[in-house]
Structure 1
Amino acid sequence: MVLATLLLICAMPQTDDTAKVVNNSPAVVSESAAKEPILVASLPPAPAPKVKADLEPIAPNITPNPAGQPFLAVKPVILRPRETPRQRKIWYGLAIAAHSGAAFDAWTTHRAIAGGYGQEANPFLRPYAGSNAIYAATQVSPAVMDLIGKRMMVSQHGWVRKIWWLPQAAGASVSFMSGTHNLGVVH
């Protein structure tokens, strides 16, 4: 396919090169042509055009739409709702609270497991419970809740926009409750 494309491109005459060759070639006049003038009457007439240039329109009452006019919109453009500066500040505050709660939960979980007071109940976090990787692993859930809350804030549905703060608030409260529980286990 690439070869066929190259052949098609290379086989096309280059219009710029042919124009230069024709324009730059010196005019050669034979000696016999200069001595014998050619009569205009002996030359064939120019071909007549097959199509008349001034055609009458088929339907004179119909005017064609100019090509440069844009199409009209099918329905009016509706912009997505945007977040307000107040909502943005609340979102950042909830994000900080959720990530702080997750770090607190990770610290208390690591402390409880290292002290031999219990084991991790979450099967997804169990592989990280014995190491410091639990601090990074617990930050995944608040990050997902932040993303969900941000998308809910600019949703098309009004009822979703009213509860955009709920995923972050719920995640933060669960993390703080888990951390408090872990502290109770250790003491």
Structure 2
Amino acid sequence: MVIAIASDSAPKEATLVAFLPSAPEPKVKAEPEPIAPNLAAQPFLPVRPVVTRPRETPWQRRIWYGLAMAGHSGAAFDGWTTHRAVAGGYGQEANPFLRPFAHSYAIYAATQVSPLVMDYLGKRMMMSQHGWVRKIWWLPQTAGASVSFLSGAHNVGVVH
């Protein structure tokens, strides 16, 4: 290192200005220290998913398809008996949403909307994150099919 001295008119007074290096020093050392491996390191464990989604069993799938067929069959039966009762002049459609379709064959398609909604709701309930909802997933389809068959039976009674 070189020491730079500034001199004034008085030669006795020397002021130390700065320590200046003779050459620039590297910021990183040329010989890095070896990294010691961590002896406590364990192999990676498999990661489990944070959220597990419920799955349907083959038995639940069979029951769901059976209830879907029952619901759509009941809706077709209700549509047929409603059309027969309205066309024969024995009564009128009480449901305001189905009333515009009661005098035509469109009643068959219109009555299939409710079972579709119940099928979707039952499937969503089967896959729910809540255990109490998964236990009653069959209820919407069963209730829809029951109401359709009861309505059809009522219509048959009106015609006869």
State the TM-score, normalizing by the size of structure 2.
Answer: 0.72
Q: Give the whole-Å Cα distance in 2 for the aligned partners of 1:147 and 1:105.
A: 20
Q: Give the whole-Å Cα distance in 1 for the aligned partners of 2:95 and 2:26.
A: 84
Q: Give the whole-Å Cα distance in 2 for the aligned partners of 1:150 and 1:114.
A: 36
Structure 2: gaps (5+ residues): 1-22, 31-47
| Corresponding residue number in structure 1 for 2:27 | 52
| Residue in structure 2 matching 1:156, options 120, 129, 136 | 129
Deviation at 1:77, TM superposition (A): 1.4
| Residue in structure 2 matching 1:95, options 68, 74, 77 | 68
| Corresponding residue number in structure 1 for 2:104 | 131
The aligned length equals 126
Deviation per CA, 1:74-121: give whole Å up to 9, x if none. Answer: x96121110000000000000000000000000000000000001000
Percentage identity across aligned positions?
Answer: 79
The reply to whether residue 120 of structure 1 matches residue 115 of structure 2 is: no
Deviation per CA, 1:109-134: give whole Å up to 9, x if none. Answer: 00000000010000000111100000
Deviation at 1:54, TM superposition (A): 3.3
1:67-106 matched pairs, under 5 angstroms? 77-106=50-79
Q: Quick check: which one's strand share is greater?
A: 2
| Corresponding residue number in structure 1 for 2:118 | 145
Q: Give the whole-Å Cα distance in 2 for the aligned partners of 1:169 and 1:107.
A: 20
Moved over 2 A (4+): 48-55
Q: Give the whole-Å Cα distance in 2 for the aligned partners of 1:113 and 1:49.
A: 103
Amino acid corresponding to residue 160 of structure 1 in structure 2: V
The reply to whether residue 186 of structure 1 matches residue 159 of structure 2 is: yes
Deviation at 1:53, TM superposition (A): 3.8
Amino acid corresponding to residue 54 of structure 1 in structure 2: K
State the TM-score, normalizing by the size of structure 1.
Answer: 0.62
For the aligned residue pairs, the C-alpha RMSD in angstroms reads 2.6
1:12-51 matched pairs, under 5 angstroms? none
Structure 1: gaps (5+ residues): 1-47, 56-74
Q: Give the whole-Å Cα distance in 1 for the aligned partners of 2:89 and 2:95.
A: 17
| Residue in structure 2 matching 1:174, options 122, 139, 147 | 147
